[in-house]
Amino acid sequence: MAFKVRKNSWGQILESFGHRIKNGFKSPKFVGWAFLFLLIGGMGVWLPWAITKELSSQSLFTYSIAILGGLLIDSFLKDGNNL
């Protein structure tokens, strides 16, 4: 009785993910937009800290929601151009 040996595709997924990350950081356009997105999206964290000099957990929660919302909007507004 022969057993079927299945290939594990996690190696290919991780390799593809690493390749995409490297390509993204080689693009000045991607790095600029990512920095701008984090700067504006992170205002809920750094702006209250800059005003009161204390960091609250509520502002960190707001930041995570802002990132998820931004990613959701980006997925809807894709125009097919690669960065």
Segments forming the whole domain that contains residue 53: 28-76
Is 35 a residue whose pLDDT tops 80? yes
Identify whether 42 is part of a domain: yes
Q: Is 1 helix (H, G, I), strand (E, B) or coil?
A: coil
Average pLDDT of the segment spanning 42-60: 73
At residue 81, the pLDDT reads 54
At residue 25, the pLDDT reads 87
Average pLDDT of the segment spanning 34-46: 81
Cβ of 62: how many Cβ atoms within 10 Å? 17
Cβ of 41: how many Cβ atoms within 10 Å? 19
Identify whether 54 is part of a domain: yes
Which of the four pLDDT bands, split at 50, 70 and 90, describes residue 52? Answer: confident
Which of the four pLDDT bands, split at 50, 70 and 90, describes residue 36? Answer: confident
Identify whether 81 is part of a domain: no
- Number of independent structural domains in the chain: 1
